[in-house]
Amino acid sequence: MDSPPCQQQSIDLSADLSPYQKFSYALNAPESQRQNPRRFQQFLDFLQIKGPTVEENVNSFYKLIENNGSRWLEVELLKFFRLQNQRAERKEISTETIRNYLKPIKLFCQMNGVLINWKIITKGIKKGHRYSSDRPPSIVEIEKMT
């Protein structure tokens, strides 16, 4: 007897993963695995999502997005990054640090299918200098060293 033909079924493997698991799946480098959840938690603290673990907080955050929509998230992101810009102006953090807060939030949204217009968010983020403040030594300084 012939066996029944195989039917292809589309299986959504991501349906069994929590929003945090999808986010952590994309964290390949050990340094990213260490830093990104901590940086993400700072945004969650801003939103006053404070549970016992980062994983629970991230999953609660996703439920908030489901309930309030991506427009709500865009507004909250603008508020958060405005605060970070103010911190940079007060020299509490460097302007380069601000982008480090963006990375885990953006990755989370990408991994969980949350559509955000990132151009709107990144337009207002202060840009830092990516060069060092070193200068070559002068001839006088070289002579003093020898």
Residue at 122 is within a domain: yes
Residue at 24 is within a domain: yes
Contact 87, 70 (CB under 8 A): no
SS3 at position 137: coil
Give the range of the structural domain holding residue 91, as residue numbers without chain letter: 18-127
Residue at 144 is within a domain: no
Q: What is the pLDDT of residue 143?
A: 86
User: What band does 75 get if pLDDT is binned at 50, 70 and 90?
Assistant: very high
- Residue 111: CB atoms within 10 A of its CB come to 19
C-alpha 31, offset from chain centre: 14
**Ramachandran class of 89: left when φ > 0, alpha when ψ lies in -120 to 50, beta otherwise:** alpha
> What confidence tens digit (pLDDT) does each residue in 112-122 have?
999 999 999 99
Contact 5, 73 (CB under 8 A): no
Q: What is the pLDDT of residue 133?
A: 61
Answer whether residue 107 shows pLDDT above 80.
yes
Residue at 13 is within a domain: no
**Total domains, the chain:** 1
From CA 40, how far away is CA 57, in angstroms rounded?
10
Angle (deg, nearest 10), helices 54-68 and 30-46: 50
Residue at 83 is within a domain: yes
From CA 68, how far away is CA 64, in angstroms rounded?
6
Contact 58, 44 (CB under 8 A): yes
Q: Record the tokens describing residue 126, joined without a space.
A: 């202060």
From CA 44, how far away is CA 104, in angstroms rounded?
11
